[in-house]
Amino acid sequence: MNALLKNREIWLVGAIAVLIAVIATRFPGFAAPRNLSTVFNDTSILMILALGQMVVILTRSIDLSMASNLAFTGMVVAMINAAYPGFPIPLLILVAIGVGLILGAINGFLVWRIGIPPIVVTLGTLTIYRGATFVISGGAWVNADKMSPDFIGLQRMQLLGLPVLSWFAIATIVLFFVMMTRTALGRSLYAIGVNPTASVYAGIDVGRTKFFAFCISGAIAGLAGYLWISRYVIASVEVANGYELNIIAACVIGGISIAGGIGSVGGAVLGALFLGIISSALPVVNISPFWQMAISGTAILLAVVLNARGERKQGRIILKKAEAAAA
Amino acid sequence: MNATADIIKPHAVLPDAQPLLTLKGVTKTFPGVRALHNVSLSLYPGQVTALIGENGAGKSTLVKTMTGIYQPDGGEIAVDGKVVALNGAHDAFAQGITAIHQETVLFDDLSVAENIFLGHAPRTGLGLIDWRTMRAKSRAVLNGMGAGHIGPDDRLKDLGIANKHLVAVARALSIDARIVILDEPTAALSAKEIEDLMMLIEHLRAEGKAILFISHKFDEIYRIADRYTVFRDGEMVGEGMLAGTPQNDIVRMMVGRAVDQIFPVRDSQPGDVVLSVKGLSHPTEFDDISFDLRKGEILGFYGLVGAGRSEVMQAIFGTTQTSAGTMTLDGKAVAPKSAAEAIESGVVYVPEERGKQGVIIGMPIFKNVSLPSLRKTSKNGVLQLAEEFSLARQYTQRLDLRAASLSQDVGTLSGGNQQKVVIAKWLATSPKVIILDEPTKGIDIGSKAAVHGFMAELVAQGLSVIMVSSELPEIMGMSDRVVVMREGRVAAVLDNKDLSAETLVRTAAGIAA
């Protein structure tokens, strides 16, 4: 499987390289390292969200409520900041993660204990969390002028030549990489996605593992809530409306199987980057946003077709010589 | 025994009775398995024929062949003396053959009338479904069979299982079925519902239908059937009129086989009690289960399908909750609430279906082996790949696993080697008790011998094994003692010395000697 996954990621890297090369023919500055680092920074939030979504999709579930969770948490932290400008930012980030985690835990609880299908649960909470955002804000916006300079400024700061926002993304990627490859939880997430029955017999609590997955995606949405608001400096009910589809698209393009059990941190990151490059490059080469949607859609279908081919069963190896050759 | 020879010869058939359906020399082979071999069977109008046989005797394959799901590799099927080809369920339908299964194959969210007439609904002149006629016909059919309490507009899902059977029968009547196959229809019914069903079968018989009745329960067979046909290992081994045929003769036909399997010779000297189960009960699945398992012992669990054996094992493994009873492991009380707790305490369960419940295809061998032992192979919450590898290497070497590398996807291994990965996975948890549920079901004879040899090795090393099996030779060849279960209870605990196959089958079916 490792070889196959690497393969898949190499394909994606290749596709991104081709994409950059094509864009560079019309807009040579695009491929400059400085611009690419800007693209990376612009895609940071999507990458972080895609990683959270990946964990859920691996368990054969889906979290449609991430963007609403993001809007709610973003509104909470913006209102706290507006009311108490002195509230320390690192603590505020922890509040964002905490609030997001609680919303994720609600999803997880409904899936685990009540046994409602994830798509139904999160379709419901998608609306509920968005509605709750309206309730706490009374429909009002929190504008840049109400936010403290620290709140807005943190992620604009540079560290070793990269904006802090990029460092958030890098830290999340590293954290997820360790979690997925080096912890029992990461291993269990894959195992229950591939074969839930066998996982039960191996002593893995499938329901609880799914609960944890939703907690993770919720916490990630919370973190992204702070990052989003402080980047776009406006908190409203409409923040990230419909963005859950971009998150899922990034995962699908990144080779994460909607059927569960297949996917990697690298894939989710590359899938997000692919979308990020399209959305940042097309406007500068004067292609309408509608083309942008069509291109994203085509990329999704292409990714699904390619992945389906990759996952096609190779048949049982019965011949001894084939068994040796397969290694 | 003389009687056997007499019985295997078919009784003379009444000269004036012409069979409605005949199978002649039907053979069906699946890769590696001969499911039906040169089978002949006749069904007569106005008669109920009981099909009797152990698990795996070929009954299900026969039903599927008769209903067009499977096509035979050889032989012929004739209806009214004319040879027919059943190339699908539709052909069987057209010949008036219908089957009513243990679990009804109807549509829960449709109405009774829709279920009865699905696929042959009356149409109006415009080609639309004629609801009025459909309802009226449904009511007529249901009333005609004494099931007037079921309304044509009732949702099927609101009916009990017995009433669903009645709807299935009504469907059979509505298509004018002449040959009705009842495949263990009583398995999920209460005594009262069974009685209702029996009346209905009598009604069908009076209408001149040819009925094939499949059941494990001798009391029902003798209550309703006119004729019997006994299957064993995919062959028809005896048939005749039921009247005047003692139960024991039929049991003898079911089990009387040549022993063609060789089991490892063991010098078994079971030690102290390792696992003691007392009064284990579940609200609906089993009741008052008690037995002891000793060190170095293979304890067989025998019973008919649905006797509750796997359910008991799942309770011991913590995946099913119990309502009463206690368990002690090495003298300490245990009450596992999850598989993880059971594994922790030293009980592992190797489930029946290797593919579905055993290995995780797509994961490399070493990750499969370490999956239940992740706590052991991690330090401060971080998995140590080197530890996982050495754990996997240690146990796969012991089992002589043939793989080029432990990083190889387990899905690329042959079935036998996958089985070894599953076993290595469980051995790596250092268990005290290992439960094997149908360990050799569906594998070829060579692999069976390997699994049996391996079981002998396990107990020689001091492990205790519970082996759930529906195969008589395996139970008799491997067990030190046998727990026989019947209808969710322990019918008997038998010592394997001088144990006869007939005693086992009689105990499992509840027939007095």
Among A182, A194, A199, the residue with its CB nearest the CB of B362 is A194
Give the pLDDT confidence score for residue A288 in this predicted structure.
Answer: 78
With 60 as the cut, is the pLDDT of residue A315 above it? no
Q: Say whether B383 and A178 touch across the interface (CB within 8 A).
A: no
**Alpha carbons B189 and B502: distance in angstroms, whole number:** 27
**Alpha carbons B410 and B403: distance in angstroms, whole number:** 9
Q: Which of A256, A225, A257, A291 is nearest to A72 (CA)?
A: A225
Q: Which residues contact B254 (CB under 8 A, 6 or more apart)?
A: B52, B53, B54, B57, B230, B232, B505
| B400-421 average pLDDT score | 78
Among B339, B382, B415, the residue with its CB nearest the CB of A200 is B339
pLDDT band at B444 (very low <50, low <70, confident <90, very high): low
Among B358, B360, B405, the residue with its CB nearest the CB of A327 is B405
Q: List CB contacts (< 8 A) between A262 and chain B.
A: 362
B161-197 in b/e form (b: 16+ CB < 10 A) is ebbbbbbbbbbbbbbebbbbbbbbbbbbbeeebbebb
Winning range, highest mean pLDDT, from A64-68, B186-190, B466-470? A64-68
CB B345 within 8 A of CB B336: yes
The 10 Å Cβ neighbour count of residue A136 is 12
Q: List CB contacts (< 8 A) between A197 and chain B.
A: 351, 356-357
Q: List CB contacts (< 8 A) between A200 and chain B.
A: 319, 339
**Alpha carbons A1 and A191: distance in angstroms, whole number:** 13
pLDDT tens figures, A278-305: 888 877 777 777 787 788 788 888 877 8
pLDDT tens figures, A114-161: 989 999 999 999 999 999 999 999 988 998 888 888 888 877 788 888
Q: Which residues contact B300 (CB under 8 A, 6 or more apart)?
A: B467, B468, B469, B475, B478, B479, B481, B482, B483, B496
CB A324 within 8 A of CB B404: yes
With 60 as the cut, is the pLDDT of residue B4 above it? no
Give the pLDDT confidence score for residue A317 in this predicted structure.
Answer: 41
Domain coordinates in residue numbering, chain B: 2-9+16-96+178-255, 108-175, 273-509
Could you tell me which chain B residue has the CA closest to the CA of A189? Answer: B371
- Per the model's pLDDT, the better-predicted residue between A319 and B59 turns out to be B59
CB B370 within 8 A of CB B377: yes
Give the pLDDT confidence score for residue A113 in this predicted structure.
Answer: 93
Cross-strand partners of B347: B433
Q: How far is A185 from chain B (nearest CA, A)?
A: 9
- Per the model's pLDDT, the better-predicted residue between B71 and A310 turns out to be B71
pLDDT band at B6 (very low <50, low <70, confident <90, very high): very low
User: What's the mean pLDDT when you consider all of chain B?
Assistant: 83
Q: Which of B43, B218, A209, B443 is nearest to B423 (CA)?
A: B443
With 70 as the cut, is the pLDDT of residue A2 above it? no
Q: Which of B35, B33, B37 is nearest to B23 (CA)?
A: B37
CB B228 within 8 A of CB B221: yes
Q: Which of B87, B97, B93 is nearest to B20 (CA)?
A: B97
Q: Which residues contact B32 (CB under 8 A, 6 or more apart)?
A: B444
pLDDT band at B433 (very low <50, low <70, confident <90, very high): very high
Rounded-to-10 torsion of CA B184, B185, B188, B193:
-140
The boundaries of the domain holding residue A162 are 2-312
Q: Say whether A202 and B372 touch across the interface (CB within 8 A).
A: yes
CB A180 within 8 A of CB A186: yes
Residue A326 lies in a domain: no
Give the pLDDT confidence score for residue B34 in this predicted structure.
Answer: 72
With 50 as the cut, is the pLDDT of residue B238 above it? yes
Give the pLDDT confidence score for residue A237 in this predicted structure.
Answer: 92
**Alpha carbons B116 and B103: distance in angstroms, whole number:** 16
Q: How far is A116 from chain B (nearest CA, A)?
A: 20
Q: Say whether A201 and B339 touch across the interface (CB within 8 A).
A: yes
Token pair recorded at residue B32: 């590696």
Among B361, B404, B415, the residue with its CB nearest the CB of A324 is B404
Q: List CB contacts (< 8 A) between A317 and chain B.
A: 412-414
**Alpha carbons A158 and A166: distance in angstroms, whole number:** 9
pLDDT band at A217 (very low <50, low <70, confident <90, very high): very high
- Per the model's pLDDT, the better-predicted residue between A119 and B127 turns out to be A119
Among A1, A262, A327, the residue with its CB nearest the CB of B404 is A327
B375-412 in b/e form (b: 16+ CB < 10 A) is eebbeeeebbeeebbebbbebbeebebebeebbbbbbb
Burial class (CB in 10 A: 0-12, 13-18, 19+), B261: middle
Among A182, A183, A200, the residue with its CB nearest the CB of B319 is A200
**Alpha carbons B17 and B258: distance in angstroms, whole number:** 35
Cross-strand partners of B382: B379
Give the pLDDT confidence score for residue B10 in this predicted structure.
Answer: 39
Rg over alpha carbons for chain A, rounded to the nearest Å, is: 20
**Alpha carbons A107 and A215: distance in angstroms, whole number:** 8
**Alpha carbons B156 and B135: distance in angstroms, whole number:** 14
pLDDT tens figures, A242-254: 999 999 999 998 9
CATH superfamily of the domain spanning B2-9+16-96+178-255:
P-loop containing nucleotide triphosphate hydrolases (3.40.50.300)
Give the pLDDT confidence score for residue A221 in this predicted structure.
Answer: 97
A134 φ/ψ angles, rounded to the nearest 5 degrees: -65, -45
User: Count of residues for chain B?
Assistant: 513
pLDDT tens figures, B130-166: 889 999 999 988 888 778 888 899 988 888 777 888 8
pLDDT band at B422 (very low <50, low <70, confident <90, very high): confident
Q: Which of B242, B259, B233 is nearest to B39 (CA)?
A: B233
Among A195, A201, A323, the residue with its CB nearest the CB of B412 is A323
Token pair recorded at residue A165: 């926002």
Q: Say whether B357 and A198 touch across the interface (CB within 8 A).
A: yes
User: Where is B231: in which H helix or E strand?
Assistant: strand B227-232
**Alpha carbons A54 and B133: distance in angstroms, whole number:** 54
Q: Say whether B412 and A183 touch across the interface (CB within 8 A).
A: no
Give the pLDDT confidence score for residue B303 in this predicted structure.
Answer: 86
Could you tell me which chain A residue has the CA closest to the CA of B344? Answer: A203
Q: List CB contacts (< 8 A) between A195 and chain B.
A: 356, 359-361
Among B357, B367, B409, the residue with its CB nearest the CB of A201 is B357
Give the pLDDT confidence score for residue A24 in this predicted structure.
Answer: 86
| A48-58 average pLDDT score | 97
Q: List CB contacts (< 8 A) between B383 and chain A.
A: 181-184, 187
Q: Which of B388, B342, B130, B279 is nearest to A205 (CA)?
A: B342
CATH entry 3.40.50.1820 includes domain B273-509? no
Q: List CB contacts (< 8 A) between B419 and chain A.
A: none
Residue A37 lies in a domain: yes
B53-83 in b/e form (b: 16+ CB < 10 A) is bbbbbbbbbbbbbbbbebebeebebebeeee
Residues of B with CB under 8 A from a CB of A: 317, 319, 338-340, 342-344, 349, 351, 356-364, 367, 371-372, 374-375, 378, 381-383, 385, 402-405, 407-409, 412-415, 425
**Alpha carbons B121 and B130: distance in angstroms, whole number:** 7
Give the CATH number of the domain where residue A56 resides.
1.10.3470
Cross-strand partners of B465: B298, B434
**Alpha carbons B203 and B221: distance in angstroms, whole number:** 16
User: Where is B47: in which H helix or E strand?
Assistant: strand B47-53
The 10 Å Cβ neighbour count of residue B421 is 25
Residues of A with CB under 8 A from a CB of B: 1-2, 178, 181-184, 187-188, 190-191, 194-195, 197-205, 261-262, 314, 316-318, 323-324, 326-327
With 90 as the cut, is the pLDDT of residue A202 above it? no
Could you tell me which chain B residue has the CA closest to the CA of A313? Answer: B411
| B375-403 average pLDDT score | 83
Total domains present in chain A: 1
pLDDT tens figures, B13-41: 444 578 899 999 999 887 656 788 889 99
pLDDT tens figures, B302-320: 987 778 888 899 999 988 8
Give the pLDDT confidence score for residue B413 in this predicted structure.
Answer: 76
